[in-house]
């Protein structure tokens, strides 16, 4: 990037197409000038910290393929960094464009530096999670400046985006207290800030010192992902006063960030019934000025522990088809435990399917090419070609190998009654022999 401009947005506003914009344009098959215009307007974000040299830049936002994020990181009960790195490799193998290190125990610096050093995917964090371990202070003893110092440390290390729950101010808390929510606040970072505010009597430090926060992010071109502390944690709480009042504030904070040339993404729900998803996407785009929307799920029902990668993928497909730009995966372990490597695999595959299904619905250029290649392989009953196009090749191969048909041009579901086999024969003028 030209040295005079510190961020992707600043360069874009001055008519500069950065190498990262050119990469996004090439990957998406879109004119680089269109990418530049949308970065300047804020409808596309390209999270790309100056010091993340392993990064393969990806764009999030208007007209682009739906991107997916994988959460991982150690906890106080399970802190095996080698296992977390195995999860990283699994996420990258199955095409995650972003990885968030949500480690919340001990000194997380070394793992984060290793992750930034090797990952072509963008890296995100929630600095609030790291504050207690980084500062070695109890929550009530942490100062507003301490919180900003942790953000600065993450920015200097090279993270590309940070989730900051800046919209949960005193006004939003007042709405929350009067709303009578079933699940209260389920955002981990949001709950910690709420507790800090209640214990100290102070305003949200990230809201009160927002300009200083933006200065830190601008210096390193760290994208701010404005977190939804008030996201609904059950379908009963969806689209309530707490959620909407915070979203209004996030829209105002978005404009302030753009004025300082800091890129923005907006985080969204949460748990939500199917009929509310499309409207929520439209509300976010309207209130937050078409900023990229990053959603967790939404999970469309609360009854499926052990299968929440499915409840999330259903909601994610609908959300992305109606305007969401970035989907955060959910694993089968959601609400139950820290996910294993196999949980990560199941979660990332489910969300990649949801994202691709949405891209088909939105008519993203080139999205259907993948499906067409698979369809041509199926029409020819070309197993090797089908395996090549499968989102999880190993699983597809295992299924076929586990039950061999008498005719290798079929599977054990239909055998010689296979419609594809018989149509191929008939169309070629051959007879069809079932017996």
Q: Mind listing the pLDDT tens digit for each residue in 316-367?
A: 999 999 999 999 999 999 999 999 999 999 999 999 999 999 999 999 999 9
d(CA 366, CA 327): 20
pLDDT at 3: 52
pLDDT at 132: 82
76: confidence class by pLDDT, cuts 50, 70, 90: confident
What predicted TM-score, i.e. pTM, was given to this entire model? 0.95
pLDDT at 422: 93
Tell whether residue 110 is among the known ligand binding residues: no
Tell whether residue 109 is among the known ligand binding residues: no
Tell whether residue 89 is among the known ligand binding residues: no
Highest mean pLDDT among 97-111, 130-144, 373-387: 373-387
Tell whether residue 229 is among the known ligand binding residues: yes
pLDDT averaged over every residue in the chain: 95
pLDDT at 74: 86
User: Tokens representing 417?
Assistant: 């009654």
Handedness of CA 406, 411, 414, 417 (dihedral sign): negative
For residue 122, what is the enclosing H or E element?
strand 122-125
In the predicted structure, residue 2 carries a pLDDT above the cut 70: no
Tell whether residue 368 is among the known ligand binding residues: no
90: confidence class by pLDDT, cuts 50, 70, 90: very high
Tell whether residue 95 is among the known ligand binding residues: no
Tell whether residue 346 is among the known ligand binding residues: no
Q: What is the mean pLDDT of residues 183-188?
A: 95
Tell whether residue 100 is among the known ligand binding residues: yes
What whole-number percentage of the chain has pLDDT above 90? Answer: 88
d(CA 367, CA 365): 6
Tell whether residue 411 is among the known ligand binding residues: yes
pLDDT at 331: 98
d(CA 260, CA 294): 21
Tell whether residue 271 is among the known ligand binding residues: yes
What pLDDT digit, counting tens, does each position of 40-68 carry? 999 999 999 999 999 999 999 999 999 99
Cis peptide bond upstream of 317, omega within 30: no
pLDDT at 168: 95
Tell whether residue 418 is among the known ligand binding residues: yes
User: Tokens representing 335?
Assistant: 């609400």
175: confidence class by pLDDT, cuts 50, 70, 90: confident
Tell whether residue 433 is among the known ligand binding residues: no
Confirm or reject CATH 1.10.150.240 for domain 8-362, answering yes or no.
no
pLDDT at 1: 45
406: confidence class by pLDDT, cuts 50, 70, 90: confident
pLDDT at 236: 97
Q: What is the mean pLDDT of residues 266-294?
A: 97
Tell whether residue 228 is among the known ligand binding residues: yes
Tell whether residue 71 is among the known ligand binding residues: yes
Tell whether residue 14 is among the known ligand binding residues: no
The DSSP letter of residue 126 is: -
Tell whether residue 378 is among the known ligand binding residues: no
Domain ranges (residues) in the chain: 8-362, 367-427
The Cβ of residue 144 has, within 10 Å, a number of other Cβ atoms equal to 17
d(CA 89, CA 419): 39
For residue 398, what is the enclosing H or E element?
helix 393-402
In the predicted structure, residue 107 carries a pLDDT above the cut 70: yes
């Amino acid at each position: 990037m030209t040295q005079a401009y510190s961020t992707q947005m600043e360069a874009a506003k001055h008519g500069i197409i950065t190498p990262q914009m050119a990469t996004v344009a090439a990957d998406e098959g879109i004119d680089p000038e269109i990418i530049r215009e949308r970065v300047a307007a804020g409808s596309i974000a390209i999270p790309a910290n100056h010091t993340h040299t392993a990064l393969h830049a990806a764009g999030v936002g208007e007209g682009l393929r739906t991107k997916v994020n994988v959460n991982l990181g150690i906890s106080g009960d399970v802190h095996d960094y080698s296992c977390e790195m195995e999860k990283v490799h699994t996420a990258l193998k199955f095409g995650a464009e972003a990885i968030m290190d949500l480690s919340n125990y001990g000194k997380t610096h070394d793992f984060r530096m290793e992750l930034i050093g090797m990952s072509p995917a963008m890296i995100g964090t929630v600095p609030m999670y790291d504050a207690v371990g980084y500062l070695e202070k109890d929550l009530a003893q942490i100062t507003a400046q301490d919180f900003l110092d942790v953000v600065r440390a993450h920015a200097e290390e090279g993270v590309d985006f940070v989730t900051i729950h800046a919209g949960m101010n005193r006004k939003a808390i007042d709405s929350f207290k009067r709303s009578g929510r079933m699940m209260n606040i389920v955002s981990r970072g949001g709950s910690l800030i709420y507790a800090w505010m209640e214990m100290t009597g102070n305003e949200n430090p990230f809201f009160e010192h927002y300009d200083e926060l933006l200065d830190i992010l601008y210096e390193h071109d760290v994208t701010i992902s404005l977190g939804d502390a008030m996201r609904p944690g059950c379908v009963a709480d969806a689209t309530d006063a707490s959620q909407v009042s915070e979203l209004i504030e996030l829209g105002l904070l978005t404009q302030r960030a753009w004025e300082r040339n800091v890129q923005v993404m907006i985080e969204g729900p949460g748990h939500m019934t199917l009929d509310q998803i499309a409207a929520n996407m439209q509300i976010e785009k309207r209130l937050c000025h078409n900023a990229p929307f990053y959603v967790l799920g939404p999970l469309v029902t609360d009854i499926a522990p052990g299968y929440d990668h499915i409840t999330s993928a259903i909601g994610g497909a609908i959300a992305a088809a109606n305007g969401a730009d970035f989907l955060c995966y959910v694993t089968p372990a959601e609400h139950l435990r820290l996910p294993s490597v196999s949980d990560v695999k199941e979660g990332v595959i489910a969300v990649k399917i949801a994202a691709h299904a949405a891209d088909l619905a939105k008519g993203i250029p080139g999205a259907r090419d993948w499906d067409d290649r698979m369809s041509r392989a199926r029409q020819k009953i070309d197993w090797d070609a089908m395996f090549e196009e499968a989102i999880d090749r190993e699983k597809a191969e295992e299924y076929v190998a586990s039950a061999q048909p008498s005719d290798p041009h079929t599977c054990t579901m239909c055998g010689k009654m296979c419609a594809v086999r018989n149509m191929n024969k008939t169309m070629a003028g051959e007879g069809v022999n079932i017996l």
